[in-house]
Amino acid sequence: MKGRVTALAVVLLAAPLVVMFEGIEQRVYSDPVGIPTACVGETDREVVAFKQQFTRDECLAVMGASLQAHAMEMDKCITRPIERHQAAAVLSWSYNVGTRAACGSSLVRLLNEGKPFCQEFDRWTYAGGRQLPGLVRRRAAERATCEGRR
């Protein structure tokens, strides 16, 4: 994900994947583990506290800005070049789990060591101590994207 042009390309590749699994919810709601969320899975307190209802365009703008910010944060902890499709999968996943968890994960460690890492998506299917069917589907799609099968 090195560089602005590459980061933008990765954001554009990751966005449809994120929308497919997050959906676009124009009202603030609680996610499956009770976190206040809005738009396309946005949990940033500043955004969620901003207002209770958003337009579709506002939601897409928030998602674009958030994905770009996540890409820049992930760029700090990924030390080797990866393919765009792999970066898009990593970005979708980090958007969901948070950059702190992502950067400290075995997935990023393996990636940085140049070892196979796409299988690690399968480990990230739990929230609040329970496996969620939606996360199982999302991680399968992210793994397929990472492996170039999607």
Which residues does the annotation mark as catalytic?
Answer: 22, 31
Please give the Cα distance from 55 to 49 (Å, whole number).
15
Tokens of 96: 């969901």
DSSP per residue, 13-39? HHHHHHHHHH--EEEEEE-TTS-EEEE
